[in-house]
Amino acid sequence: MAYAITWKHAAKDAALIPARVALGSTMLYHGASKLRGEGPDQTGQMFEGLGLKPGKALAVATGVAEVFAGAAAVLGIATRPAALAVLVTQGIAIAKVHAPKGFNVMKGGMEYNLALMAIAAALLLGGPGRISAHEALEHAVDGRGPRRLWRRARPTGLSRAVRLLK
């Protein structure tokens, strides 16, 4: 019975990896395109056309948020803040650009953005799983053996902060 429970948890944790990688790679690409070359100027002009001012500064902030969200999701560290960044950026994209065009992605609709938001919501609620850089950091902070048990019972400020950013 214990083996089945262990397998169940391992399968759940492994199942989060494709979701993290899909969301993370998409957001890395999205954000990097806003930050490289003419990206800040072009995206800034588009933002100003949508009524978001100052356009260039918001384009850079959006690009940084998306790159952070992508890298954090892939690595599985600060996954919940990363998921929140995805929800905010994609929510604004839907409200300002995609909602008026309907659902169909082939017509510029919000279908794809909603899929990204669904993955982000799942990671916000479920966290990165045990197969993640966050889990490795948490184990390093807690230590092993009796020290780990003591830190779990009486966490330090550092271990509380690490758990908070899961």
Task: State the average pLDDT over residues 136-146.
Answer: 80
Share of the chain above pLDDT 70, in %: 97
Average pLDDT over residues 123-144: 87
Residue 53 has pLDDT above 50, yes or no: yes
Lowest mean pLDDT across 24-33, 48-57, 94-103, 155-164: 155-164
Give me the mean pLDDT over the 25-52 stretch.
95
pLDDT given for residue 2 in this prediction? 46
pLDDT of amino acid 58: 96
Q: Which tokens is 141 given? A: 């902070």
User: For the chain, which residues make up each domain, given as ranges?
Assistant: 2-131, 132-166
Q: Specify the pLDDT at position 98.
A: 95
**Is the N-terminal amide bond of 54 cis, ω within 30° of 0?**
yes
pLDDT of amino acid 162: 78
The interaxial angle of helices 79-93 and 111-126, nearest 10 deg, is 160
Predicted confidence (pLDDT) at residue 108 exceeds the cutoff of 50:
yes
Q: What is the DSSP secondary structure assignment for residue 165, as one 8-state letter? A: T
Confidence check: pLDDT of 69 > 90: yes
Residue 86 to residues 62, 121, 152, Cα–Cα distance (Å): 10, 9, 31
What pLDDT does 79 receive? 94
User: Residues 132, 73: contact at Cβ < 8 Å?
Assistant: no
pLDDT of residue 4: 52
Distance CA 130, CA 136 (A): 8
Question: What's the mean pLDDT in 28-50?
Answer: 95
